[in-house]
Amino acid sequence: MLEQSVINKLIEIVGESNVETSTTERVSYSYDATPNFQALPDAILAPQSTEEIANIIKLCNEEKIPIVPRGSGTNLSAGTTPLAGGIVILFKHMNRILEIDEENLTATVQPGVITLDLCNAVEEKGLLYPPDPSSMKISTIGGNINENSGGLRGLKYGVTRDYVLGLEVVLPNGDIIRTGGKLAKDVAGYDLTRLLVGSEGTLGIITEAILKLVPLPETKKTMLATYQSMDDAAMTVSAIISQKMTPTTLEFMDQPTIEVIEAYAKIGLPTDAKAVLLIEQDGMVEVVDRDIKRITEICKAHHAVTVEVAKDEMEAEQLRSARRAALSTIARLKPTTILEDATVPRSQIAPMVKAINEIAEKYSLKICTFGHAGDGNLHPTVPTDARDREEMDRVEKAFEEIFQKAVELGGTITGEHGVGAMKAPYLEMKLGKEGIEAMRAIKQSLDPNNIMNPLKMFAKDTRKRVVL
Ligand SMILES: Cc1cc2nc3c(=O)[nH]c(=O)nc-3n(C[C@H](O)[C@H](O)[C@H](O)COP(=O)(O)OP(=O)(O)OC[C@H]3O[C@@H](n4cnc5c(N)ncnc54)[C@H](O)[C@@H]3O)c2cc1C
């Protein structure tokens, strides 16, 4: 618990109404979207400016109090669970779009801006902010940057990292620095912007971001192809890419996922199909028409049972929403839902899905797999019950094997959800001891007192979940 003298100093910095220490509030911020991780913070602060944040950090650094920055808490790697207690920092007062610069094609935003609000605001000006995690209705830009989030448009447009041009950051010693800027070119020194993107709140607090925008494409078309074999769907993905087309979206859902989504969305998805591809292309009308035609031919050549192009935007949005609802709909099945994001080179999707199915059988688990086929980023998801310790044990073992297989196939333990506390024990599988030491050296030099989001990324035993 924090001493009263520290709480008084925090009140002096942010004002009494922006400091919460009640049990109800502490419990509310003791967990995030990751199942089975929970720990109470000592206080929750809602600062209003970069200067207030700098003063909080200076105080915490002196007193060695842990700080957990928190956007909307939708991360799936226990990134905002305050495992070492301390202070949770919210950005609800720092949620303004400061500028949309139509000449430089940039948006300058505070960290608490909701992703979809930014997308809508720039679209009104004929511009596109492409990163679109499925959680975009609630996730914040600060969270997206710190997890380097991806989305359905990732295949063509890349991930959050590709759209962060500059940052304002408060470092763990309280210094405020600016990296990058509204610049297309900038090679002055180390690329701190890239280092901070995906740093999961462990290196500082992002208080402002300059983001790159692109012109809104003239049109887009969405289609659905269904298959009786996973291999045929995977071959279709490879064939589309190797024929030098880059669709905006190339998403995959397996049979168990289709069944669960259809039970909820009731939009006529074929529940007997073994795999479904959701494909979207955007751009100039002629290019989109040409690509959709060619992609239809490729799907048919690879034994698609049906290939249908959405007849209007409403139907297209229904399909996109259905895919975005995958996690939420699977979560209706059982009290606990564990989703991972093992990622492989896209040429390895078929062997990876096959391995996931074998592992599911070996451990007698239902695993629904969906994800970004074009990126090789798969989300094997297990509906389970945390109170059933024996089953949870099997789930842990299954995921460990899934990570091992992904790395063996040239992939990684996480494509977009981050390491946090949940995947920290597996980081070495991907980076090796030396890789971890190089990262630890960066962390140590910027945050010698380890106040920023401790017990994340480097801790080895954090996957011991708290069973409620
Ligand atoms: C239903 C659902 C669907 C999802 N779909 C996707 C998807 O398609 N793609 C994807 O990539 N992810 C997805 N996610 C995961 C999650 O939404 C993303 O990781 C998202 O970027 C988190 O945003 P947030 O605002 O909730 O951040 P939080 O969860 O609050 O925080 C995420 C991390 O950022 C740090 N952080 C937050 N703000 C700051 C700041 N200002 N300065 C420093 N550190 C900060 C936190 O400490 C934490 O480590 C999904 C989650 C759910 C629940």
Per-residue three-class SS string for 69-130: EECCCCCCCCCCCCCCCCEEEECCCCCCEEEEECCCCEEEECCCCEHHHHHHHHHCCCEECC
pLDDT tier, 1 (very low <50, low <70, confident <90, very high otherwise): confident
- Structure token digits, residue 390: 């024996």
- Domain extent for 271: 219-325
pLDDT tier, 214 (very low <50, low <70, confident <90, very high otherwise): very high
How far apart, in Å, are the Cα atoms of 447 and each of 41, 58, 172, 175? Answer: 20, 12, 6, 12
Task: Select from 215, 241, 270 the last residue of a domain.
Answer: 215
DSSP 282: E
145/194 Cα distance (integer angstroms): 10
Ligand 1 lined by 94 (C-beta under 6 Å): no
Ligand 1 lined by 200 (C-beta under 6 Å): yes
Same domain, 204 and 103: yes
Domain annotation covers residue 458: no
Domain annotation covers residue 462: no
Instruction: Give residue 231's pLDDT.
Output: 86
Domain annotation covers residue 419: no
Domain annotation covers residue 457: no
Same domain, 131 and 116: yes
Q: Is the pLDDT of residue 159 over 90?
A: yes
Q: Is the pLDDT of residue 321 over 90?
A: no
pLDDT tier, 401 (very low <50, low <70, confident <90, very high otherwise): very high
Q: Residue 201 in contact with residue 443, Cβ under 8 Å?
A: no
Q: What is the mean pLDDT of the chain?
A: 94
What does the pLDDT average to over 415-419? 95
Q: Is the pLDDT of residue 444 over 80?
A: yes
Q: Is the pLDDT of residue 464 over 80?
A: no
Q: Residue 221 in contact with residue 112, Cβ under 8 Å?
A: no
Same domain, 8 and 64: yes
Same domain, 110 and 209: yes
Task: Select from 90, 117, 132 the last residue of a domain.
Answer: 90
Which tens digit of pLDDT belongs to each residue from 30-51? Answer: 999 999 899 999 999 999 999 9
Q: CATH number for the domain including 191?
A: 3.30.465.10
Same domain, 169 and 187: yes
Ligand 1 lined by 201 (C-beta under 6 Å): yes
Q: Of 137, 135, 104, whose CA–CA distance to 118 is shortest?
A: 137
What does the pLDDT average to over 242-246? 92
Q: Is the pLDDT of residue 412 over 90?
A: yes
Look-up of token digits 């062997």: 351
Distance 242 CA to ligand 1 centre (A): 32
Domain annotation covers residue 420: no
pLDDT tier, 265 (very low <50, low <70, confident <90, very high otherwise): confident
Q: In terms of C-beta density within 10 A (0-12 exposed, 13-18 middle, 19 or more buried), how is residue 164 classed?
A: buried
Distance 74 CA to ligand 1 centre (A): 5
Q: Is the pLDDT of residue 346 over 90?
A: no
How many domains, the chain? 4
pLDDT tier, 459 (very low <50, low <70, confident <90, very high otherwise): confident
Distance from first CA to last CA of the chain, Å, rounded?
Answer: 22
Instruction: Give residue 465's pLDDT.
Output: 47
Q: Among 67, 81, 147, name the best residue to mutate to test ligand 1's pocket (greatest count of ligand atoms within 8 A of Cβ).
A: 147
Q: Is the pLDDT of residue 119 over 70?
A: yes
Q: Is the pLDDT of residue 66 over 90?
A: yes
Instruction: Give residue 463's pLDDT.
Output: 53
pLDDT tier, 467 (very low <50, low <70, confident <90, very high otherwise): very low
Same domain, 276 and 200: no
Residue 33 Cα: closest atom of ligand 1: 53
Instruction: Give residue 468's pLDDT.
Output: 35
Q: Of 289, 407, 393, whose CA–CA distance to 338 is shortest?
A: 393
SS3 276: strand
Q: Using CA positions, which residue lies closest to atom 32 of ligand 1?
A: 143
Ligand 1 lined by 79 (C-beta under 6 Å): yes
What does the pLDDT average to over 80-104? 98
Counting residues of the chain whose pLDDT is more than 70, the rounded percentage is 98
What does the pLDDT average to over 233-249? 92
Instruction: Give residue 230's pLDDT.
Output: 85
Domain annotation covers residue 456: no
Q: Among 81, 134, 264, name the best residue to mutate to test ligand 1's pocket (greatest count of ligand atoms within 8 A of Cβ).
A: 134
What does the pLDDT average to over 64-76? 98
Distance 115 CA to ligand 1 centre (A): 10
DSSP 317: H
Domain annotation covers residue 443: no
29/38 Cα distance (integer angstroms): 9
Instruction: Give residue 267's pLDDT.
Output: 85
Q: Is the pLDDT of residue 415 over 70?
A: yes
Same domain, 125 and 196: yes
